[in-house]
């Protein structure tokens, strides 16, 4: 079922863009998807969002390509990154680390221009590089959140990317890896959301980490700084149970289900994501943030502003 669904998305050869859609280290969590697609004949490129965790970037919010050095700009929101790509104040992206690890260019996505900017940029990129499948991988499960879960902390970036992928003319699929490894949604919440998506025929299939994935990710964490995306490696060592992350600010639920990537139909995920629907026509990150702020959704940007005393 899973392989057939992926192959159904393409004709005359498959070129796939695999994106970590939550920013930061989500690109490492997208690596098993890249390996799986490559194993069934896809030519794959990897990428992620230009939004790093506060512990690495002192400036709140995502970065614009105008702030980035050593990058090949494809358009206003998409650039080709190398191991030397960084901000003009010295911040290295996790996308850059992945580029250095894989010894190939990766894709850096600028979300400062909102859903419309991302959509336009991805459409242009896919056209220029003959990409016929985009897979957006979220680590943890925020992309299937309803917006008001008690532990939800960082749904905005995922919602922007989900809405943009929904509006693409190119085929797209959503992947959820490392459920609960970001310490936000609880296992029962993720299970409930996945069951609903399944009931609406939105479930495509799932893959577990292969032993080769595990070894590759162990090497990858030397280049990509992440907590959530590396936690499934603990499960691969036989460890489960509550695990503190973010300097103890959150507790991640490690279970055997954390080593799987669950693949879902983009339109069904979008249909069940109120946040993505609300911001679907946004033309800037700030506009999207303000929309969710007004309806009481906790976001990563709002939390950053509060910590900085700017809100």
Stronger pLDDT, 93 or 9, i.e. the higher one: 93
- Position 133 pLDDT exceeds 70: yes
Share of the chain above pLDDT 70, in %: 96
Is the distance from CB of 81 to CB of 105 less than 8 angstroms?
A: yes
The pLDDT tens digits of the residues spanning 239-288 come to 999 999 988 889 999 999 999 999 999 999 999 999 999 999 999 999 99
Question: Mean of the per-residue pLDDT values for the chain?
Answer: 95
Angle formed at CA 154 by CA 153 and CA 158, multiple of 5 degrees: 150
DSSP string, 159-172: HHHHHHHHH-SSEE
CA distance 154 to 33: 22
**Maximum alpha-carbon separation in the chain:** 53
Q: What is the pTM of this model?
A: 0.96
Q: Which whole-number Å values give the CA distances from 11 to 73, 144, 204, in the listed order?
A: 28, 29, 19
- pLDDT tier at 3, thresholds 50, 70, 90: low
pLDDT band at 308 (very low <50, low <70, confident <90, very high): confident
Pairing of strands 43-49, 106-109: parallel
The full DSSP string for 78-118 is EEEEEEEEEETTSPBPHHHHHHHHHTS-EEEE--TTHHHHH
Signed CA dihedral, 307, 190, 161, 147: sign only = negative
- Residues paired with residue 41 on neighbouring β-strands, in sequence order: none
Order of strands, edge to edge, in the sheet holding 260-265?
68-73, 78-87, 106-109, 43-49, 15-20, 133-139, 171-177, 260-265, 203-208
Nearest to 159 by CA among 175, 145, 178, 140: 145
Q: Please enumerate in sequence order all residues whose Cβ is within 8 A of that of 115, keeping only pairs 6 or more positions apart, or say none.
A: 160, 163, 164, 167, 279, 280, 281, 282, 283, 288
Please report how many Cα atoms fall inside a 13 Å half-sphere around the Cα of residue 27, on the Cβ side: 30
pLDDT tens digits, 138-164: 999 999 999 999 999 999 999 999 999
Return the pLDDT at 309.
73
Residue found under tokens 């003009």? 88
What is the C-alpha separation between 97 and 142, in angstroms, rounded?
Answer: 24
DSSP 176-209: EESTTTTSSS-HHHHHHHHHHHHHTT-EEEEEEP
Quickly tell me which residue has 């959704």 as its tokens.
Answer: 297
């Amino acid at each position: 079922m899973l392989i057939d669904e992926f192959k159904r998305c393409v004709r005359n050869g498959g070129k796939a863009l695999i994106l970590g859609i939550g920013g930061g280290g989500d690109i490492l969590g997208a690596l098993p998807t890249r390996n799986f697609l490559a194993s069934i004949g896809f030519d794959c490129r990897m990428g992620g969002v230009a939004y790093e965790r506060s512990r690495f970037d002192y400036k709140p919010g995502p970065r614009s390509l105008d702030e980035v050095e050593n990058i090949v700009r494809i358009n206003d929101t998409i650039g080709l990154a190398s191991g030397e790509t960084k901000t003009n104040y010295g911040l290295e992206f996790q996308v850059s680390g992945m580029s250095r690890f894989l010894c190939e260019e990766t894709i850096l996505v600028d979300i400062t221009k909102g859903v419309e900017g991302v959509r336009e940029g991805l459409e242009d990129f896919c056209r220029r590089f003959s990409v016929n499948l985009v897979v957006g991988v979220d680590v943890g499960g925020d992309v299937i959140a309803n917006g008001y879960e008690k532990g939800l902390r960082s749904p905005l970036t995922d919602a922007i990317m989900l809405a943009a992928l929904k509006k693409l003319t190119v085929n797209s699929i959503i992947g959820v890896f490392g459920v609960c490894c970001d310490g936000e949604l609880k296992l029962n919440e993720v299970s409930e959301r996945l069951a609903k998506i399944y009931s609406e025929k939105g479930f495509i299939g799932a893959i577990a980490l292969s032993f080769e994935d595990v070894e590759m990710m162990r090497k990858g964490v030397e280049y990509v700084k992440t907590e959530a995306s590396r936690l499934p490696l603990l499960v691969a060592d036989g460890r489960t149970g509550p695990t503190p992350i973010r300097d103890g600010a959150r507790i991640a639920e490690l279970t055997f289900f954390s080593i799987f990537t669950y693949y879902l139909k983009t339109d069904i995920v979008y249909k069940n994501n109120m946040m993505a629907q609300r911001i679907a026509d946004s033309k800037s990150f700030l506009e999207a943030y303000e929309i969710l702020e007004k309806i009481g959704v906790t976001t990563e940007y709002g939390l950053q502003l509060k910590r900085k005393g700017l809100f």
